Amino acid sequence: MKPHVRQTEPFRWEGIPVSGYKPSGTHFSGITRQLVFEGGSGLACELRYFEIEPGGYSSLERHRHAHAIMVIRGTGGVLVGDRVVQLATHDLVRVPPLTWHQFRANDGVPLGFLCMVDCQRDVPERPDDAALTRLRADPSIAAFIRT
Amino acid sequence: MKPHVRQTEPFRWEGIPVSGYKPSGTHFSGITRQLVFEGGSGLACELRYFEIEPGGYSSLERHRHAHAIMVIRGTGGVLVGDRVVQLATHDLVRVPPLTWHQFRANDGVPLGFLCMVDCQRDVPERPDDAALTRLRADPSIAAFIRT
């Protein structure tokens, strides 16, 4: 990577491709991924920029690694553990290890956020039927999650 | 840290103190530091937000750890290695290991940026007279740096 990488249009950067969120799947919708900083060469973490289009959502998942997130575009909502919260631009979200989480853009507004993660990390787990039943016991979570 | 931390006013966050850039020194000016994400608990890096007031500057230094930076407020300039470049909001800067660097806000505009670093990192080194002479051999660097 060059020392200086310009933003070429809003939330797009010179030489950084806009790629799919995950290689495949039907458990997410309308979300793109840009790797703004690779790890290695003195960095144990990487920084990604995800953008969810209005009405879209990330996958409902959990894993042993943590997420450190800053919203930098738009607004949306997130499930973290047992709470659904509304997010404004520049709000922070910390997803602790083994905590169910899912991000959603609101209708009419994209949700764009930076997400810092360890380079060395485990593969996400999706909820089985028993986990979904436990999550849906809370009506606000039942109304929020998309699978 | 709570899972959700709101931005309470522009570039200030609930419960996150605004602190001095470094414990002491006269080799920087007009710069504050907020630790937006601590490391640990599943994160090998931390994320800081630095804000330089108009006319201010960070220290001219280098170290073995790398910096991964995104400007999120205002504009400014940076020396990275042997180049001085102008920065716009959302531009990215990667400072490789052992590379001299210094950030400056432009006159009249603050420069605010996120900086991702490893939790385990070495202490920065400042240039000695010989290093300063080498840096100042380039007129654009000589005009830019503040010591």
Model confidence at B77, pLDDT cuts 50, 70, 90, reads very high
Query: A52 pLDDT exceeds 80?
Result: yes
Report CB contact under 8 Å: A6, B72: no
Res A71 pLDDT > 80 = yes
Contact present, B60 and B88 (Cβ < 8 Å): no
SS3 B57: strand
What is the rounded distance in angstroms from the CA atom of residue B19 to the CA atom of residue B27? 17
User: Does residue A115 have an active-site annotation?
Assistant: yes
pLDDT over 90 at B1, yes or no: no
Task: Tell me the per-residue pLDDT of A77-110, one tens digit each, with 9 for 90 and over.
Answer: 999 999 999 999 999 999 999 999 999 999 899 9
pLDDT at A45: 96
Instruction: Work out the average pLDDT over B8-14.
Output: 97
**Enclosing H/E stretch for A37:** strand A29-37
Asked whether A105 and A87 are in contact (CB, 8 A), the reply is: no
pLDDT at A38 over 80: yes
What's the mean per-residue pLDDT of chain B?
Answer: 95
Q: Which two tokens stand for residue A80?
A: 């973290």
| Inter-chain CB proximity B37 and A81 less than 8 Å | no
Contact A45 B42 (CB under 8 A): no
- Both structure tokens of B95: 């400072």
Which tens digits make up the pLDDT trace of B84-125?
Answer: 999 999 999 999 999 999 999 998 999 999 999 999 999 999
B1 within a domain of the structure (yes/no) = no
| Residues A7-16: tens digit of each pLDDT | 999 999 999 9
Q: Which of residues 76-105 of B touch A (CB under 8 A)?
A: 78, 80-81, 83, 85, 87-97, 99
User: What tokens appear for B53 in the block?
Assistant: 């007031």
Q: Is residue A105 part of a domain?
A: yes
Question: Best mutation site among A43, A47, A79, A101 for testing chain B: the one with the most B CBs within 10 Å?
Answer: A43
∠ at Cα A2 (A4, B114), nearest 5°? 45
pLDDT per residue as tens digits for the range B55-71: 999 999 999 999 999 99
Question: Does A76 fall in a domain?
Answer: yes
The answer, for A116 touching chain B at a CB cutoff of 8 Å, is: yes
Cα–Cα dist B90/A6, whole Å:
8
- Mutation test of the interface with chain A: which of B37, B101, B114, choosing the one with the most A Cβ atoms within 10 A? B37
Residue B91: burial class (beta carbons within 10 Å; 0-12, 13-18, 19+):
buried
Does residue A135 lie within any of the structural domains?
yes
B73 token code pair: 């407020």
pLDDT, position A1 = 73
pLDDT at B23: 73
Q: Is B2 a domain residue?
A: no
CATH number of the domain bearing residue B129: 2.60.120.10
Q: Is residue A22 part of a domain?
A: no
Q: What is the pLDDT of residue B92?
A: 98
- Judge whether A99 lies within some domain: yes
Domain that holds residue A57: 28-144
Catalytic hit among B60, B71, B79, B115: B115
For A75-94, b where at least 16 C-beta lie within 10 A, e where not — what string? Answer: bbbbbbeeebbebebbbbbb
Residue A24 has pLDDT above 90, yes or no: no
pLDDT of residue B26: 76
From the list A2, A64, A80, the residue facing B42 with the nearest CB is A64
Structural domains in chain B (count): 1
The pLDDT assigned to B113 comes to: 98
Question: Is residue A47 domain-resident?
Answer: yes
Angle at alpha carbon of residue A58, lines to B8 and A51, rounded to 5°? 60
The two three-digit tokens of residue A116, written as one number:
């810092």
- Angle among Cα B87, B89, B93 to the nearest 5 degrees reads 50
